[in-house]
Amino acid sequence: MSWQPQRRRAGVAQGESAVTFSAAKDATQSTVEDPVIEKETRSQEDVDLPWQVVVHNDPVNLMTYVTMVFQRVFGYPREKAEKHMLEVHHQGRSILWSGMRERAELYVQQLHGYLLLATLEKVG
Amino acid sequence: MEICRREDKLEISELDPFLAELLRQIPASTNPEGTPAAEKRLFSPPADRSKTEQCSEWKLYVEPELRRLFRTATETVAADLEQLNGNEKPFANRTLRIPTQHADAWLNALNQARLVIAAKYNFTDGELCDHYRSPIGSRRDLSLFQLNFYGFLQEFILREIGGCPEKTSD
């Protein structure tokens, strides 16, 4: 597949909230400086949350194929992938993932690469 | 027809002319041209059609990439099927060997073909579930058989590649 979801590195990413404390550099000082609290900001991604990846039923796609795709794209264990596949089969749709828009878009692209009927929906 | 896995290859042997012809038709069957319903199914929108901006961006940036992906898969399958060309041996002695690293391309091309055929003939759910329909009395019956045969091949490939490497769950 051409599209692989980009794993975000662990830790605080640009634009995410962060609260840090800086201690006094000069240990000889008898007093400790007041902690500096950085301004807490709300990232655009937080504002955008949540988006969901929805897969819709298609009677042509094989159940085993759909299960394999869910395992590959989302890294779900077989049981979880089968649960979602059966939800698609019986209820017509299943929400496979929800979270940040950028990643949800990548998942939808991957699912279309496997020829599944997938859409991106904003919750609410 | 016999189908099995030998080391790093999937082998389809003892091919009769009819099934060999169905195999040879896989690349052509993936072509949705002339069937708007098939084109629409292969390149379905990523969101409700009312989200026009999202859908037009998808058409502009993602759809060409999907077309390239599907074409590459079909070309891989077409190249493997070259083994069936030529008349030096009768079909009964022919063996089609598919390298296991081509399994994904085969799954993709077979799925394209099945979706295009299903869209072309607008098969009902009942027809799609009727795996024992016989005999073949019309072009529609033949296409349904073709769709089921490709599904059988997909099932075999899925079984033989044995699941998939699992990524860490989110």
What's the pLDDT at A5?
34
Q: How many domains does chain B have?
A: 1
- Of A78 and B169, the structure prediction assigns the larger pLDDT to A78
Number of domains in chain A: 1
Domain extent for A95? 44-122
Run of H or E including B72:
helix B63-81
Contact criterion met (CB below 8 Å) for B108 and B50: no
pLDDT above 70 covers what percent of chain A?
61
pLDDT band, very low/low/confident/very high, at B161 (cuts 50, 70, 90): confident
Domain of B30? 2-45+55-161
B147 touches chain A (CB under 8 A): yes
Q: Is residue A9 part of a domain?
A: no
**A10 in a structural domain:** no
pLDDT of res. A81: 98
pLDDT, tens digit, for every residue of B58-106? Answer: 999 999 999 999 999 999 999 999 998 876 666 566 789 999 999 999 9
Res B152: pLDDT: 94
Residue A108 located in a structural domain: yes
Task: Take residue A79 and report the two structure tokens written for it.
Answer: 């049981």
Decide if A106 is inside a domain. Answer: yes
Residue partners of A46: CB distance under 8 A and separation at least 6: A16, A17
Q: Is the pLDDT of residue A26 over 60?
A: no
**What token pair was written down for B23?**
């195999």
- Is pLDDT above 80 for B2? yes
Decide if A24 is inside a domain.
Answer: no
pLDDT at A44: 63
Q: What is the pLDDT of residues A28-51, one digit of tens each?
A: 444 566 666 655 555 665 556 799
Q: Say if B50 falls within a structural domain.
A: no
**A17 located within any domain:** no
- CB proximity B69 to A under 8 Å: yes
B157 part of a folded domain: yes
Q: Which of A101, A112, A122 to mutate to test the interface with B (most CBs of B within 10 A)?
A: A112
What is the rounded average pLDDT of the residues B18-43?
95
Q: Does B70 map to a domain? A: yes
Closest-CA distance of chain B to residue A62, Å = 7
> Is there a domain that residue A82 lies in?
yes
Predicted-assembly ipTM surpassing the 0.95 threshold: no
Residue A11: the pLDDT is 34
The CATH number assigned to the domain holding A97 equals 3.30.1390.10
Nearest to B110 by CA among B168, B35, B25, B44: B25
Min CA distance, B3 vs chain A (Å)? 19
Q: By the 8 A CB rule, do B2 and B13 touch?
A: yes
Query: Considering only CB atoms, which chain A residues are within 8 Å of B44?
Result: 112, 117
Using DSSP, state whether B127 is helix, strand or coil. helix
Instruction: Check the CA dihedral B145-B150-B155-B157 and report its sign.
Output: positive
